[in-house]
Structure 1
Amino acid sequence: MRIPMPGRSRSRTAVLAALTVALGTLAGSVSGSASADSTGYGPLPPQNPATAANGTATMHGDSASSDTTPTAGPGSGAITYSRTALASACPTVVVGSDGYPVTLCTTIFGQTPTVHLLDPGSGDDLASLSLPKGSLFGGVYSYLDNADRLVAVDGNDNLLRIGHHRSGSGWTLTVDQSTSLAAAIPSGDNVVGLAPGWDGRVWFATADGIIGTVDTETGAVRTLSTGEAVQNSISTVPGHTAVATDHALYLLSEAPDGTPVVDWRAPYDRGPARKPGQLSWGTGATPSFFGPGDGTEYVTITDNAAPHEDLLVYRVADGPAPVCDTPVLTQDSSSGTEDAVIASGRSVFVTNTYGYPYPALPTGAPASQPSSASFDGGLSRVDVNADGSGCTLVWNSPVKSAALPRLSLGDGKIYTVTVSGPTDTLGSNTFAAYHYATVDPATGRQTDERLLGIGLLYNPLQMTGTTGPDGTPYQGTETGVVRIRRG
């Protein structure tokens, strides 16, 4: 998913500030097959040597953007939780080898991008560091490197590595390395996607479609231009980088000097217009690598076809012809998503955000068709056939997820935050109730729910949670971070 961050006049980041002014569970019948994948889920994607451990290194868990975790969650029993009030929306929470959560937030007042270090024992805010304002959209997709430093782009187009260090009896956050990207990014453009390569370079993509690599040791930056807008992050596995523009999916490699090389381009159906519940016209998904062998055989996105979007799966080695083009979330009259998918083994899980009530839109966003719609939620599971010949819709589910779900390979459960009550009009989220819930990936049925709270204090804004190595989930919300533990 993407949440706009404060930026220049051309950016889409005014949405986040507007979101902060606006303030159940559906477990009914499930359509489709209820049979489980006999091969199970996984494996995890390969561990990127440039990041912290899989599951906790990026917003989507790993550099492949699988939205899985190797760690078991709190399970289906009682939970306890606490809320860290930061007066900020916090889309990214990552956890390093030392167990300390690091979150990148944007303040409600002033729209200042701020890094926070949290206490893993209590969730308390131990230290914070404000960054230059500007276009920190790429900061949403910041990641933790293999030295537990947060890698992000600030408003001055500097690629930063931010470390946390003990200082006397407390902690401090410092910029340990800064590499300028300004010469490669035209005025008015801004970094959107950010992901580590497998050779030490960092890949980035800008809103206006420039894709590049940077060597943070030498400062060398190499780029190419697609001429198409990018509104989501990017994903990497050994030898490959995937970028989705508002017209096509690109698979890239790099020349010896780091210059990006397009291996193939796969155009997709972007639909007749932006849908309600989306922030831009085109795919709402960051590309995700997955596969039953080594976790990299396939790459997938959703398109924006109407009335129902399709899941597109490509074989990395063969593209750009898709393995399948499968309609998803077909239980309602229309579907669309602003979320990345969960992708693991041969299975892909898609979340419906059609009609999600964003109270404002980015500057310059085209009108949606229709102008509004009810937010009904829903999930779908699609499996790639065992022989790789196509895909099968396994189930549609009515689960009304207000967050991007995460699949635990540690306990075989999908974890998310569901919403009930009024959610369909501007400001109605003030009275919505949010529950921490588990979903059975074999059937799509919700197995339980535990109330977190009501209103903006607990609204996850379609952001994903991260489970720490001790099994503690951290869920970013409209106003801070909720820390959840087994009861």
Structure 2
Amino acid sequence: MKRVLVCLVAAAAAVPALAAAPEAAAVPIPPLPTDVLSQAFTGHAARARPMRVLRNPQNPHLAPNGTNSMHNDAYGTNAYAVTGPLGRSLQVRSASYGVSECATIAFDSRGRIVGLCGGLDGFTMRLIDPTTLSQIASLRTSNRDLTSVSNPFTDLCGGTYFYLDNHDRAYVLTTKKQIWRIKVTATGLKHTATYDIASALPGKDCAIATMPDWKGRIFFASQQGRVGAVDPQTHRVRTIRFRGQGIYNSISGDETGAIYVVTDHRLYSVAADRRGAPYVRWSQRYDRGSTQKPGQLSQGSGTTPTLIGKHLVAITDNADPRMHVQFYRRDGHRRHRLVCQAAVFGKGASDTENTLAEAGHGVVVENNYGYTGVQATMLGKSTTPGVARVVVRRGHCRVAWTSKVTAPTSVPKISLGAGLVYVYAKPASNPLDDSWYFTALDVRTGRTVWQQRTGNGIQWNNHYASVYLGPDGAAYIATLAGLVRLADG
């Protein structure tokens, strides 16, 4: 890992410091000497083939669906109605913000990027021009404890997830066990309120995810298995704890007031009672397997719950020898809660640390087996291939297709307007070729339609960051050294 840190710092050394105001020009992600090896674009431009759009309800306390959080909406669908890049004369732009990965981004009412960016020493909220990628403003939200033994590449505490509400206000977790409310203004970012949740998170526990319910309560989940609800008016905090369990992914919610949480043992439906205190509506144990597999942050499901239509919630388990995509009923009926499940990828080589993406009557899942850190994709190496679509109809599941594309850690996204699945791929190659590719698959067949090379080297690694589509259909992917934008010419 020390070698990796040295490479990243060296790559960032050539990048000038970015000022918060006035607007700082976008500095391209710096190339390495070997960043000239592979073909830039392969395949052919797609013809848009729209899919049926499930009209997921809009949480009234979030920015419009598709713009408010890492997983697009309160349902965690990872699907967009907008038409994404089709591969027509693709225009690729990158910008570096130093060793700083904007893992979660949203889009404000002006269409600008609001990104929470983590570096080796802490976290910064950035306001970014969506076309030029120039930084308009920045606000430091957290510092890391540099005396801690925590690995900054896997530490989720206080800087991975945030959400944007319907008034252009970001709700951001911090390493000081607070939730900051940050107003996105015409010219910058302003810290306007602090919700102190430290009393609910004793010891070394920390908050990792946050999402509002349909009444505007600020829910959060902690690494040591706590789920809390904050009254935004009184700031009162109430929690529930799932002892002996950890939480390593984000949370989802629906219009019934339920918040869906996956621990490394169970799937939970949680809601707030009349006093605002969280309670369990129902829970379901799943097969967590026998060990933490390479590619995961815990021994358990690596997914945020994905809600499908009015009735289903989907996750993956961590079963041996093959992981399953599972569909559960959201009504909490104990006897028939598990609707069906389907095994995906090869025996002894399947896991995921990324959320499912809703695709019509089913989901797309990505194989992350073998990603033990950034070193797993260096010197021509890569992880175990696999992207699959699982469909569910009339209570039965089946694997519709499986692609051999290797996507080490990207959260896949679906453009329902284009009929494409976007992943960030890194095929195995020779020791001098660590090229990364923004890749479009046909959502109906799994066929690779086109691939666009972004660059060669560790600085192009997305390291668990998501693919995003902007309101205009442009695509974005965060890397360890900045942000990449792709749009049709």
| Displacement after TM superposition at 1:312 (Å) | 1.3
Q: What is the CA deviation profile of residues 162-219 of structure 1, one whole-angstrom value per residue up to 9, with x for unaligned ones?
A: 12224xxxx3321122111112111211002211111010111111111111112210
Amino acid at match of 2:473: G
| Matches of 2:260 and 2:478, distance apart in 1 | 26
Q: What is the CA deviation profile of residues 255-304 of structure 1, one whole-angstrom value per residue up to 9, with x for unaligned ones?
A: 111111211111111111011111221111111111xxxx2311011111
Q: Is 1:104 matched with 2:124?
A: no
TM-score scaled by length of structure 1:
0.83
Q: In the alignment, what sits opposite 1:394?
A: 400
Q: Please provide the CA RMSD for this pair.
A: 2.6
Amino acid at match of 1:139: G
| Displacement after TM superposition at 1:318 (Å) | 3.8
| Matches of 1:184 and 1:422, distance apart in 2 | 48
| Displacement after TM superposition at 1:416 (Å) | 2.0
| Matches of 1:76 and 1:176, distance apart in 2 | 41
| Displacement after TM superposition at 1:357 (Å) | 4.1
CA contact (8 A) 2:442 2:448 kept: yes
CA contact (8 A) 1:315 1:323 kept: yes
Q: In the alignment, what sits opposite 2:102?
A: 90
Amino acid at match of 1:309: M
Amino acid at match of 1:98: R
Q: 2:416 aligns with which of 404, 409, 414?
A: 409
Q: 1:131 aligns with which of 141, 148, 152?
A: 141
CA contact (8 A) 1:41 1:347 kept: no
| Displacement after TM superposition at 1:440 (Å) | 0.5
| Matches of 2:203 and 2:371, distance apart in 1 | 32
Q: 1:438 aligns with which of 411, 432, 440?
A: 440
| Matches of 1:351 and 1:92, distance apart in 2 | 19
Q: In the alignment, what sits opposite 2:253?
A: 236
Q: 2:240 aligns with which of 211, 224, 236?
A: 224
Write out aligned runs for 1:245-264 (5 A): 245-264=263-282
| Matches of 1:284 and 1:22, distance apart in 2 | 32
Q: Is 1:325 matched with 2:341?
A: yes
| Displacement after TM superposition at 1:404 (Å) | 1.8
CA contact (8 A) 1:53 1:96 kept: no
Q: 2:84 aligns with which of 70, 73, 79?
A: 73
| Matches of 1:112 and 1:80, distance apart in 2 | 32
State the secondary structure of the residue aligned to 2:199.
helix
CA contact (8 A) 1:266 1:319 kept: no
Q: What is the CA deviation profile of residues 124-180 of structure 1, one whole-angstrom value per residue up to 9, with x for unaligned ones?
A: 0111111232586343121111112221111211111112224xxxx3321122111
| Displacement after TM superposition at 1:68 (Å) | 0.7
State the secondary structure of the residue aligned to 2:185.
strand
Q: 2:364 aligns with which of 349, 374, 377?
A: 349
Q: In the alignment, what sits opposite 1:474?
A: 476
Q: In the alignment, what sits opposite 2:170?
A: 150
Q: Is 1:114 matched with 2:124?
A: yes
| Matches of 2:132 and 2:63, distance apart in 1 | 22
| Matches of 2:9 and 2:134, distance apart in 1 | 25
Q: In the alignment, what sits opposite 2:67?
A: 56
State the secondary structure of the residue aligned to 1:143.
strand
Q: In the alignment, what sits opposite 1:382?
A: 390
| Matches of 1:154 and 1:136, distance apart in 2 | 11
Percent sequence identity over matched residues?
33
Write out aligned runs for 1:429-468 (5 A): 431-468=433-470
CA contact (8 A) 1:136 1:153 kept: no
Amino acid at match of 1:52: A
Q: In the alignment, what sits opposite 2:219?
A: 203
Q: Which has the higher contact order (CA 8 A, sep 6+)?
A: 1
| Matches of 1:19 and 1:59, distance apart in 2 | 27
| Displacement after TM superposition at 1:345 (Å) | 3.3
Task: Return 5+ residue gaps in structure 2 as ranges.
Answer: 12-37, 40-48, 145-154
Task: Return 5+ residue gaps in structure 1 as ranges.
Answer: 1-13, 26-37, 362-372
Q: In the alignment, what sits opposite 1:46?
A: 57
State the secondary structure of the residue aligned to 1:285.
coil
Structure 1 residues 275 and 303: CA distance shift in structure 2, 3 A: same
Q: In the alignment, what sits opposite 1:286?
A: 304
Q: In the alignment, what sits opposite 2:201?
A: 185
| Matches of 2:50 and 2:140, distance apart in 1 | 46
| Displacement after TM superposition at 1:42 (Å) | 3.2
| Displacement after TM superposition at 1:21 (Å) | 7.1
CA contact (8 A) 1:93 1:475 kept: no
CA contact (8 A) 1:399 1:445 kept: no
Q: 1:163 aligns with which of 172, 183, 196?
A: 183
State the secondary structure of the residue aligned to 1:60.
coil
| Displacement after TM superposition at 1:474 (Å) | 1.9
Amino acid at match of 2:126: H
Q: In the alignment, what sits opposite 1:296?
A: 310
CA contact (8 A) 1:252 1:262 kept: yes
State the secondary structure of the residue aligned to 2:75.
coil
| Displacement after TM superposition at 1:382 (Å) | 0.9
| Matches of 1:17 and 1:98, distance apart in 2 | 36
Amino acid at match of 2:233: E
Q: In the alignment, what sits opposite 2:35?
A: none
Q: What is the CA deviation profile of residues 369-410 of structure 1, one whole-angstrom value per residue up to 9, with x for unaligned ones?
A: xxxx9612211111111x2x2212211111212422100122
| Matches of 2:275 and 2:210, distance apart in 1 | 19
Structure 1 residues 22 and 461: CA distance shift in structure 2, 3 A: farther
Q: Is 1:265 matched with 2:283?
A: yes
Structure 1 residues 268 and 113: CA distance shift in structure 2, 3 A: same
Amino acid at match of 2:141: L
Deviates more, 1:41-50 or 1:62-71: 41-50
| Matches of 2:7 and 2:248, distance apart in 1 | 18
